[in-house]
Amino acid sequence: MNEPRIFAALLAYLEGDATPAQIRKYIRYWRSSLRDPSVPCPLCYTFRGRHSGLTALHEKDGYMPLVCTTCQETFNVPIQ
């Protein structure tokens, strides 16, 4: 499930609140977790220091919702 469009969408969620250093740290974390089938939650990792995964829900209105198993935050990733 680690696809470039998902990565880009999750980075967009971070850009408003995270520092450049925090974003770089998440990028390194993302790249190191490629063997893990789950997508790492950007908010838990960046702001809480937790390693939690996102679960994909069914597509809705052209978006694929990803929900964090820990903080319950939902990230809507465009399908196209």
pLDDT tens across 2-39, in order?
Answer: 578 888 888 998 988 899 999 999 888 888 876 666 78
Q: Could you state, in order of their start, the residue ranges of all structural domains in the chain? A: 4-78
DSSP for 2-70, please give it.
--HHHHHHHHHHHHTTS-HHHHHHHHHHHHHTTTSSSEEPHHIIIII----EEEE---BTTEEEEEETT
Residue matched to tokens 């980075």: 11
Rounded Cα distance, 35 and 78, in Å: 23
What is the reported pTM?
0.77
Q: What is the mean pLDDT of the chain?
A: 86
| 2 and 34 Cβ atoms separated by less than 8 Å | yes
What is the end-to-end Cα distance of the chain in Å, rounded? Answer: 15
